Amino acid sequence: MQRLGIDLGGTKIEIAALDADGRFALRRRIASPPEGYEATVVAIGALVAEAEREIGGRATVGVATPGAISPATGRIKNANSTWLNGRAFREDLQAELDREVRIANDANCFALSEAVDGAAANAKVVFGVILGTGVGGGIVVDRTVLTGPNAIAGEWGHNPLPALNAGDEPAPACYCGRRGCIETYLSGPGLAADHVRHGGESLAGDKIAERAAKGDAACVATLERHEERLARALASVINLLDPDVIVLGGGLSRIQRLYKNVPRLWNAHIFSDDVRTRLAPPVHGDSSGVRGAAWLWND
C-alpha cells in the first residue's frame, strides 16, 4: 500500500504519494481555502480521492499540521494557524476520509523525513529545527517521532533564549505573551527585526544573507549575532538531548555559513570536552513536511 502525506500550511495544502522506497509517485499543491476550517477538511478529502484515483488504490494518510493534538481534549492546540486551535481535526478528517489518519506537528514531520532517508538517515537520535516564520523543533528516536505526554516534545521555540546579554536587550515581545522567546530572535521575522533594531534597513532574511555575502558590514554583523544566538539555543538542546544530528529546516536553513560557524560557537556552551553532534542542512528541504507526514506510517 502506498502512503499519502499531506502538509497543511497557512497558505497552501500539499499532498504527495510515496512508494515503498520513498520516491514520489504523485505530488501536487493547492491554495488553502479562504473559507476556513470546514472547507479545508473538504478540500483534503477531495485531494485524497483524486490522488487515490491516480495511483490506483487506497492509501494510508498522514498529515503534517501546525500545532499539536492535545492529549487532554483531542483537539488542536498551539497552532499559529489559529483557526485550527480547539478543533477536533483528526476526528473530522477521519470522518471525511473514512479511515484512520495519523497527524503530527509539522516540525516533527520534518524531523522524521530527514531521519528516515534524509540528512540524518541511520542516526539514532535526531533533532529537527524549523527556522522560518516561526521556530519549531521535533525529536525522532530510532525513526519514531517522540511526542511526549503533553504533545510538546521538541518545542524549544518558546523557551527563553539562553544566557541573555546586553546585545540581546531589550527582549522582544512574543505572540505567546512572554518576552525573549527563542522564536523572537531566530525566526525569519526575528532576524529581520534584529537587523532593524541595530540600525539596518528592513530586509528579509535571504536578502540579509545575500548582502552579507557581498561584504555589507551591517548584514554581516546581523548574521554574526544570529549565529551566536543559534549556537546558544542549540547548545541547550545538546546538553539536554545529546542528539547525533541536528538538521535545520525552514527558509533560514539555506544560509550556508550557519553550518560552519554555529558548531564552532556552540562548543563554549556545551557541557562536554568533545562535541560530536553534527549540524546538517536538509536533504529534502521544502518536501520534508509532506514526506514526513507520509512516513508517519513507517511501521
Taking only the tens place, the pLDDT of each residue in 254-282 is: 999 999 999 999 999 999 999 999 999 99
Residues 102 and 126 in one domain: no
Nearest CA among 119, 116, 104, 62 for reference residue 285:
119
Give pLDDT, residue 83: 87
Residues 233 and 270 in one domain: yes
Kindly report whether the global pTM for this prediction surpasses the value 0.85. Answer: yes
What does the pLDDT look like over 24-52, one tens digit per residue? 999 999 998 988 899 999 999 999 999 99
116 domain-assigned: no
**Domains of the chain: total:** 2
114 domain-assigned: no
CATH number of the domain to which 75 belongs: 3.30.420.40
Cα separation, 20 vs 32, in Å, equals 29
223 domain-assigned: yes
Give pLDDT, residue 82: 82
Domain span including residue 83: 3-109+287-294
47 domain-assigned: yes
Per-residue pLDDT at 107 exceeds 80: yes
Contact status, residue 159 vs residue 180, Cβ threshold 8 Å: no
Percent of the chain with pLDDT over 90: 89
Residues 63 and 96 in one domain: yes
117 domain-assigned: no
Per-residue pLDDT at 299 exceeds 80: no
239 domain-assigned: yes
Residues 98 and 226 in one domain: no
Residues 206 and 233 in one domain: yes
Residues 155 and 236 in one domain: yes
Percent of the chain with pLDDT over 70: 100
> How does residue 9 score in pLDDT terms, banded at 50, 70 and 90?
confident
What does the pLDDT look like over 199-244, one tens digit per residue? 999 999 999 999 999 999 999 999 999 999 999 999 999 999 999 9
What b/e readout covers 78-112, taking b as 16+ CB neighbours within 10 angstroms? Answer: bbebeebbebebbebbeebbeeebbbbbbbbbbbb
Residues 138 and 241 in one domain: yes
Residues 12 and 96 in one domain: yes
Give pLDDT, residue 162: 97
Give pLDDT, residue 77: 92
105 domain-assigned: yes
> How does residue 155 score in pLDDT terms, banded at 50, 70 and 90?
very high
Residues 10 and 102 in one domain: yes
Per-residue pLDDT at 62 exceeds 80: yes
> How does residue 298 score in pLDDT terms, banded at 50, 70 and 90?
confident
Residues 105 and 140 in one domain: no
Residues 128 and 275 in one domain: yes
27 domain-assigned: yes
Residues 274 and 140 in one domain: yes
Report the DSSP pairing between strands 3-8 and 12-18.
antiparallel
